Amino acid sequence: MSADPTTVLAFETDCHIFDGCGFPAPGLHSFLFQPIFGDGDSNIYFNKTMLLALLGTVIIVGFFWMAFRKPKVVPGKLQMVAEAGYDFVRRGIVYETLGKKEGEKYVPFMVSLFFFVWMLNLWSIIPVAQFPVTAIFSYPVALAAIVYVIWMSVTFKRHGFVGGLKNLSGYDKSLGAVLPLVMVIEFFSNVLVRPFTHAVRLFANMFAGHTLLLLFTIASWYLLNGIGIAYAGVSFVMVIVMTAFELFIQAVQAYVFVLLACSFLQGALAEQH
């Protein structure tokens, strides 16, 4: 295999600065994976991100299975940690936005959503895996689509067809002459833009984070020659700093994703004024 500098990661080659090869910058190709098996053209295949998604599922279910299978009134360590996580989503997000009475029904969904997203994000800095599954647009889209379906069905179930449309378009008589304009914008924003940005926000954050990590990691290796070694050190420090930063961003993005889902539902459950 020829060492094309634009396609191969630096540490897969002996490519260093002053060796006459260019910087193998990360790009869109860094987010594409050869199928582990199956055929990329036939749409029936299995690749790394799918493996990580399923492994993540196993980890989450396994963790909560061990923690909550036989829960005790006086909790053990594992149960205590899991309870803290559960309580964080339940009280900190769902009860805060939807209230205890309305929110109770959505707690299992939101808890699953939070830990699922967090786990998929977390793969980004877990050694060997080192890829945020949510940086593949399909995963955020799938999750945002589920939220969208629930949101829309709640809207129309709660307010009826006309009431639901009014709810989505922010119908408010006191606006007077600008009401039609507001309704068009609101409707467009709610029905089309919101689900899209909901998915893109998560995807783009993870995509960018992973790109940054790649950039500094590759640079650390690439600069490891001659005077470049000093810069390689700086770059490696940045790898560590960015890893810590990513750890934070992963949790924040999972939190934001669930919080937005809750706030959509909050709008749907709100009484008409």
Residues 6+ positions from 104 with CB-CB distance below 8 Å = none
Of 14, 19, 22, 32, which one interacts with another protein (CB under 8 A)?
32
Nearest CA to 93 out of 205, 267, 257 is that of 257
Of 17, 53, 214, 239, which one interacts with another protein (CB under 8 A)?
53
* 148 vs 171, beta carbon nearer another protein: 148
Closest CB 204 distance from another protein, rounded Å: 9
Of 45, 156, 231, 236, which one interacts with another protein (CB under 8 A)?
45
Nearest CA to 11 out of 29, 21, 24, 1 is that of 24
153 binds another protein (CB under 8 A): no
Residues 169-208 that bind another protein (CB under 8 A): 200, 207
Whose tokens are 């990590």? That residue is 213
Closest CB 43 distance from another protein, rounded Å: 6
Rounded distance, CA 231 to CA 247, Å? Answer: 24
First to last CA, the chain: 66
CA distances 197 to 106, 148, 150, 242, Å, are 22, 12, 17, 25
Q: For binding to another protein (CB under 8 A), which residues are involved? A: 1, 4, 6-8, 27-29, 31-32, 34, 40, 43-45, 47, 49-50, 53-54, 56-57, 60-61, 64-65, 67-73, 79, 82-83, 86, 107-109, 111-113, 115-116, 136-139, 141-143, 146, 200, 207
